[in-house]
């Protein structure tokens, strides 16, 4: 099993050094997982990076060969940055709320890193991931979790005043997103809530692991992140007890079509 790795060493050609090791702790994890998928694939991987943002993850995974990255995001400025990284086969601007503009079973891997929390229609989104993925393909969902997801969501909305940000499409999927400056809706899941939401679809959960412990809980403790011992302790605890982490990676494999779907 692959566990989270926070470090700066280089092995298998993947650079580990990141500017903020905890924020990007899931990047080496994903790079390792993609490398493993690659080793089992004959013709390479078609990877869909939903809500790709500035494309940091794809750039980090650049050394992995035969990967065809496709990025989709709502935010034009971020897409420009993603394009400039030169890793994506192509990027496109689109609102995930309107579905994915890809054919059925045309994607090997879907990566949804820190995006689900911005979407109001998660079950629909997961169904879209399932539709575009080939059978046996892998889904990686990385998302914030909380012990008290409703309370955390309310506090976050209140703290950031996101209803009032100009150009926000917060909570209003029908707003004209092309005029939105940035999407700002945020909602949290509980540990079990996130896993069971994914498992409702035709996905088999193959791995669950955690990363940071305190990100959304006790902010001042984030200062501990500069100490190596804290990194090692966090890694050890969140791998063993992912339910205590503030960010969760859920890895799922798309199963054979269910009989009720094919009929």
Site residues for ligand SAM per CB under 6 A: 51-53, 56-57, 73-75, 78, 95-97, 113-115, 118-119, 183
207, 139 contact by CB (below 8 A): no
Nearest approach, Cβ of residue 42 and ligand SAM (Å): 28
Judged by beta carbon, residue 65 or residue 98, the one nearer ligand SAM is 98
171 or 241: CB nearest ligand SAM: 171
How far apart (Å, rounded) are the C-alpha atoms in residues 191 and 73? 26
Strand order through the sheet with 88-93: 88-93, 67-73, 45-50, 107-113, 133-144, 247-254, 203-210
Helix, strand, or coil here: 81? Answer: helix
HSE at residue 159, side-chain half, CA atoms within 13 A, is 9
Q: Which C-beta is closer to ligand SAM: that of 122 or that of 257?
A: 122
Q: Indicate the residue among 109 and 232 with the shorter CB distance to ligand SAM.
A: 109
User: Residue 115 CB, nearest distance to ligand SAM (Å)?
Assistant: 4
Cα 182 to chain centroid distance, Å, stands at 18
Minimal distance, residue 78 CB to ligand SAM, in Å: 5
Q: DSSP per residue over 82-125, as a string?
A: HHHTT-EEEEEE--GGG---S-TT-EEEEEEES-GGG-S-HHHH
Q: Is residue 4 a contact partner of residue 25, using CB atoms and an 8 Å limit?
A: yes
Give the shortest CB-55-to-ligand SAM separation in angstroms.
8
Q: In the bound complex, what is the minimum distance in angstroms from residue 69's beta carbon to ligand SAM? A: 12
- Taking the least distance from each CB to ligand SAM, the nearer of 162 and 263 is 162
């Amino acid at each position: 099993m692959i566990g989270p790795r926070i470090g700066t060493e280089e092995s298998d050609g993947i650079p580990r050094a990141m500017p903020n090791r905890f924020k990007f702790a899931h990047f080496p994890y994903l790079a390792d997982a993609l490398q493993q998928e690659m080793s089992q694939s004959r013709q390479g991987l078609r990877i869909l990076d939903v809500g790709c943002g500035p494309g940091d993850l794809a750039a980090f995974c650049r050394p992995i060969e035969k990967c065809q990255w496709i990025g989709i995001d709502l935010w034009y400025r971020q897409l420009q940055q993603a394009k400039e990284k030169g890793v994506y086969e192509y990027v496109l601007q689109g609102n995930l709320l309107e579905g994915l503009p890809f054919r059925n079973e045309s994607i090997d891997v879907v990566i949804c890193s820190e995006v689900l929390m911005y979407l109001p229609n998660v079950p629909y989104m997961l169904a879209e991931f399932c539709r575009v993925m080939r059978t046996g393909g892998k889904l990686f969902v990385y998302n914030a979790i909380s012990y008290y997801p409703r309370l955390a969501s309310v506090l976050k909305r209140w703290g950031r005043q996101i209803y009032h940000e100009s150009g926000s499409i917060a909570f209003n999927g029908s707003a004209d997103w092309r005029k939105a400056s940035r999407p700002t809706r945020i909602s949290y899941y509980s540990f079990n809530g996130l896993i069971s939401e994914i498992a409702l679809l035709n996905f088999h959960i193959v791995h669950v692991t955690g990363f940071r412990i305190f990100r959304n809980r006790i902010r001042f403790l984030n200062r501990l992140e500069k100490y190596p011992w804290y990194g090692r302790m966090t890694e050890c605890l969140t791998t063993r007890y992912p339910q205590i982490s503030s960010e969760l990676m859920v890895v799922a494999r798309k199963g054979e079509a269910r009989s009720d779907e094919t009929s």
